[in-house]
Structure 1
Amino acid sequence: MSTTKDDRDAGKAEGHSEAEGRWAELLQPNHLAATVTLCLGVALFAFNEFFISTALPTAVEEFGGAALLSWAFTLYLVFAIIGGALAANLKARFGARNALIAAALVFVTGTVIATLATSMPQVLVGRLFQGLGEGIIAAICYALIPELFPPRLVPKVFGAEAIVWASAAFAGPLISGFLTEHWSWRAAFFVNIPAAAIFIALVLAIVPRRSASAQIVQPIPLFRLIAFGLGILLISVSNMLQNGFAMAALVVVAIAVLVNTVHLDRRSRHSILPLGAFSIGRPLGTGLWIILLMPLAQASGSVYLVYGLQHLWNFGPTAAGFSSALMAMSWSLTAILVASLRSHDLRVRLIWVGPLLLCLGLIGLTVAIATAEFRLVFAGQIAIGAGFGVCWGTLSQLLMDVSPPPERDKTSALLPTLQSAGYAVGAAVFGLTANIRGFDEGARLAVMRDALLAVFALSCVISVASLFFGIRTVRLARSRRPTRSEARAQRPVTVD
């Protein structure tokens, strides 16, 4: 493929721009407010997750209705996914600024309802609104990264967001636990309100109004959004069932709904998914498989690892929870190191290492359970966190870069949505696996170990699939040269 002088000049300019990226630039006056805004958008999602997970059990004790506890997380997740799928359309229809403010107000409304609740059903309504608002916020914040920052700083922004996640993993449970213990669980909910108010103020100051030349707005694909939400809801509900056959049937129905909805979306003139989504012949398609499969595989640890540490090795809650914090630390530290690499091509070549480290970490967890060697758990968690840190930011940037400009909002909005879907599907699949193997609260230790061994062995298989797509994504990305229009599209965007 021949290249023109403009193409070569664009490539040289891009390479020069990439080499000049510095962490300190994120704190300079022309980028500081945008950095804080996007990181705060992520923080609302991250801290809310850890705040609520810590405070909700106390709310259940006050109201009763323990059977509804899982629904507080299920409804939040389902509506966060729906909000994420809707985000690109809302951004095009109303502009990022108006959509973010409206979503933040929806989130605040949900927080107020949950904070003032006098029963568990009211808490569930609040969680529904929180999920919808947060899904939109997270997706649009992803879409704004390439709009508010030049390409050389995009890896640094993802690194900064990794720091936010690590901070939430550490500080979230501590702050929420302190507020719940010394004041009330309502205080842990209420903290989100001033944070959301600051976020709205920053959006008003930083995010530009939509220009008059906004793209043609597509109609909202309501039927497909409902179908996507229904599929995820069925998967989440299946994880609550005790009967293995009923659980398997519901998972099969849910997957059938999701697959058929994806096929329907591909044939639609007004699609939710970007062009080439999940195609194995394009880097966008194979990259999206990684975004889905890595969280799906890691969900085994998210659901069962702390429980296993407490029951197989008699760890206390704090010591068991340290394993999750260890993964978060590893993820953040690795993400910062990778984002500091000046060569974009090198970061792309390292994408496949992420699924490889995930696979090795999950193998370590499997061996730890099989041999009763708990120290392998911590090594495995470090490897898993490093796997996400190595590839997640670079992969997200790559998927935005390889998407045609009109499709980039769809791709950006899909990333956090697909990640949440991966965790939801993983929780259901591993819940089904554990139940089939006899996992139960009163199960004998040998039965529990056998069930967890099956769960983590399956997660290893899924991680191998993500490794396949990781290798293929790198090959497709390196064999693909950017066109002239794409090179120009990747240049810094100036916002008046």
Structure 2
Amino acid sequence: MTALDNSAITYDSEIREGVLGRSYRALSVGIVSVVLLIAFEATAVGTAMPVAARELDGVSLYAFAFSGYFTTSLFGMVLAGQWSDRRGPVGALTGGIVAFAAGLLVSGTAGVMWLFILGRAVQGLGGGLVIVALYVVVGRAYPEPLRPAIMAAFAASWVVPSVVGPLAAGVVTEQLGWRWVFVGIPVLVVFPLALALPQIRRRAAGPVDAGREAGAFDRRRIRLALAISLGAGLLQYAAQDLRWVSLVPGVVGAALLVPAVLGLLPRGTYRAARGLPSVVLLRGVAAGSFIGAESFVPLMLVTQRGLAPTLAGLSLAAGGATWALASWVQSRSRVEPYRERLMTVGMLLVAAAIATAPSVLLPAVPVWTVAVAWAFGCFGMGLVISSTSVFLLHLSAPEEAGTNSAALQISDGLSNILLLAVGGAAFAALGGGDVTHSVTHSAAEAATTSHPAAFAVVFLPMASVALLGAWVTTRLRERES
């Protein structure tokens, strides 16, 4: 038996074993645990953030604690793509986890709000590095038939944190203080890192092209990454301050952002060119429309229907389970021939969920309508998000996996920033800013504050964007010649 035959037998055996078989168990558990911790942090921080801002006398800077994370993560994504393609994903992954943990510690020990925001910015840089490096690990370490399954595992790792995270963070914040929500997580990172790193070094270390100079980073892309981060930050600032003077940072931000986006995303992304450009565009359209709408659901339920904040947040909890279920469905080998159709169905479900949510502005519509609609919307997202990752790795040459994964994540993160900024500005322009004051009053008082148009102007355009995504799903493969 030849070495080639032995290699084929080993390959077939690993495929049959799956992502939790002996060959991949340590790697799978390690990298999924990293995603689990990031998911827990993301869902827990929102609970502790209001208390932190109040104690640090920084409520006026509250939005920057979120935008600081997102803007630096954009730079981290591009840097990770360059780093992973040229030196392998190990350095980007470990550096990202270290930065993520360091940012948590800085925020958790901050004595003033600006230092807290600095910690969030460092944390965002780490998060951007980690997410792209993990995609490169999947592309290099797992054979193509196993990639849908590990992507489904990534999605499933968000289920428990989406339910337990806010509740656990609330208990910790009340009993021990908000700082423990931040300083407790870095300790937990050690185990998954120790478990996964040996396997990553064995299966995915080093550049794909041994002849490529290890340190030859594309300086133009790094400059564009800085421009996209700064531009996104300026646009967010302008959207949060609706005075005429805010046009200046808004125009400067757009001037930086537009050429940077055109330079960092695949050519033809903005016009939905077939193949990779449409995959990248779809990711942004799906994530931006859904997250842009979801961010306003709890506020709408509290201020317009009088729900308690905890109950309003839990109305979205079932979505974590349906998202994971859909990710599992797309990972089945038997559905592979129908992947594009599933993604079309997914985007239609997302659009329908977003369009249905504001129906609860009518008193006759039961509030549980949102929970049901959002469960279906999350099912649609589970079909789309995991599948875009699978498509991207399928269409990427090994030496381009980092750059293309960075483009996918940039599309995701940037669309969240821009659509949230646009939605927030429209919301504020129609009197939505007055709604937030009612959150501090009783549920009965909140319910008397009526600003339905402010919410409708957020949800209905987001639903239209999601419908556009359904069309983009028809352009994911290039025409056969």
Q: Higher mean Cα deviation, 245-254 or 346-355?
A: 245-254
Q: CA contact under 8 A between 1:440 and 1:448: conserved in structure 2? A: no
The answer as to 2:46 corresponding to 1:53 is yes
Whichever residue aligns with residue 431 of structure 2, its letter is G
Distance 2:471 2:363 in 1: 28
Whichever residue aligns with residue 414 of structure 2, its letter is A
What is the aligned partner in structure 2 of residue 197 from structure 1? 190
| Cα offset, 1:132, TM superposition | 0.5
What is the aligned partner in structure 1 of residue 397 from structure 2? 404
Q: CA contact under 8 A between 1:139 and 1:414: conserved in structure 2? A: no
The answer as to 2:65 corresponding to 1:72 is yes
The answer as to 2:236 corresponding to 1:236 is yes
The answer as to 2:131 corresponding to 1:134 is no
Whichever residue aligns with residue 210 of structure 2, its letter is S
Q: Flag the 1:446–1:51 CA change in 2: closer, same or farther, 3 A.
A: closer
Distance 2:51 2:306 in 1: 24
The answer as to 2:385 corresponding to 1:382 is no
Distance 1:115 1:140 in 2: 26
Whichever residue aligns with residue 314 of structure 1, its letter is G
Distance 2:273 2:176 in 1: 55
The answer as to 2:323 corresponding to 1:327 is no
Q: CA contact under 8 A between 1:39 and 1:161: conserved in structure 2? A: yes
Q: Give TM-score scaled by structure 1 length.
A: 0.84
Q: CA contact under 8 A between 1:21 and 1:342: conserved in structure 2? A: no
Q: Higher mean Cα deviation, 277-286 or 419-428?
A: 277-286
Distance 1:292 1:170 in 2: 25
The answer as to 2:448 corresponding to 1:448 is no
Unaligned runs of 5+ in 2: 1-7, 438-446
Whichever residue aligns with residue 334 of structure 1, its letter is A
Distance 2:464 2:140 in 1: 38
Distance 2:249 2:323 in 1: 33
Q: CA contact under 8 A between 1:278 and 1:284: conserved in structure 2? A: no
What aligned pairs does 1:409-420 form with structure 2 within 5 A after superposition? 409-420=402-413
Partner of residue 463 from structure 1, selected from 462, 466, 469:
466
Q: Give TM-score scaled by structure 2 length.
A: 0.87
| Cα offset, 1:284, TM superposition | 0.9
What is the aligned partner in structure 1 of residue 273 from structure 2? 281
Distance 1:372 1:135 in 2: 44
What is the aligned partner in structure 2 of residue 183 from structure 1? 176
Q: CA contact under 8 A between 2:56 and 2:113: conserved in structure 1? A: yes
Q: How many residues align?
A: 454
Distance 1:248 1:467 in 2: 33
| Cα offset, 1:146, TM superposition | 1.8
Q: CA contact under 8 A between 1:283 and 1:399: conserved in structure 2? A: no
Q: CA contact under 8 A between 1:17 and 1:152: conserved in structure 2? A: no
| Cα offset, 1:167, TM superposition | 1.7
What aligned pairs does 1:469-480 form with structure 2 within 5 A after superposition? 469-473=472-476, 476=477, 479-480=479-480
Distance 1:447 1:246 in 2: 30
Deviations 1:372-394, CA, capped at 9 Å, x for gaps: 51333123212210111122212
What is the aligned partner in structure 2 of residue 268 from structure 1? none
Q: Flag the 1:299–1:249 CA change in 2: closer, same or farther, 3 A.
A: farther
| Cα offset, 1:40, TM superposition | 2.4
Distance 1:109 1:390 in 2: 34
Distance 1:274 1:242 in 2: 33
Whichever residue aligns with residue 258 of structure 1, its letter is L
- Taking only the aligned residue pairs, the percentage that are identical comes to 24
Deviations 1:352-377, CA, capped at 9 Å, x for gaps: 11111111111211333357513331
Distance 1:404 1:249 in 2: 41
Q: CA contact under 8 A between 1:228 and 1:258: conserved in structure 2? A: yes
| Cα offset, 1:276, TM superposition | 5.4
Whichever residue aligns with residue 462 of structure 1, its letter is V
The answer as to 2:85 corresponding to 1:123 is no
What is the aligned partner in structure 2 of residue 215 from structure 1? 212
Q: Flag the 1:409–1:480 CA change in 2: closer, same or farther, 3 A.
A: farther
What is the aligned partner in structure 2 of residue 490 from structure 1? none
Q: CA contact under 8 A between 2:83 and 2:217: conserved in structure 1? A: no
Whichever residue aligns with residue 126 of structure 1, its letter is G
Whichever residue aligns with residue 206 of structure 2, its letter is R
Q: SS of the residue aligned with 1:30?
A: coil
| Cα offset, 1:309, TM superposition | 0.4
Partner of residue 357 from structure 1, selected from 322, 329, 349:
349
What is the aligned partner in structure 2 of residue 165 from structure 1? 158
Q: CA contact under 8 A between 2:32 and 2:153: conserved in structure 1? A: yes
RMSD of aligned residue pairs (Cα, Å): 2.7
Deviations 1:66-90, CA, capped at 9 Å, x for gaps: 1122211111111111101211111
Q: CA contact under 8 A between 1:354 and 1:390: conserved in structure 2? A: yes
| Cα offset, 1:420, TM superposition | 1.7
Partner of residue 439 from structure 1, selected from 432, 439, 456:
432
Q: Flag the 1:138–1:453 CA change in 2: closer, same or farther, 3 A.
A: same
Q: CA contact under 8 A between 2:286 and 2:384: conserved in structure 1? A: no
Q: Higher mean Cα deviation, 289-298 or 44-53?
A: 44-53
Distance 1:318 1:445 in 2: 19
Q: CA contact under 8 A between 2:90 and 2:133: conserved in structure 1? A: no
Q: SS of the residue aligned with 2:24?
A: helix
Q: Flag the 1:83–1:437 CA change in 2: closer, same or farther, 3 A.
A: same
| Cα offset, 1:178, TM superposition | 1.8
Deviations 1:5-31, CA, capped at 9 Å, x for gaps: xxxxxxxx9xx979x966x62222211
The answer as to 2:95 corresponding to 1:102 is yes
Distance 1:130 1:54 in 2: 17
Q: SS of the residue aligned with 2:432?
A: coil
Q: CA contact under 8 A between 1:437 and 1:447: conserved in structure 2? A: no
Distance 1:180 1:322 in 2: 18
Whichever residue aligns with residue 156 of structure 1, its letter is A
What is the aligned partner in structure 1 of residue 337 from structure 2? 345
Q: CA contact under 8 A between 2:293 and 2:458: conserved in structure 1? A: no
| Cα offset, 1:160, TM superposition | 0.6
Distance 1:190 1:230 in 2: 28
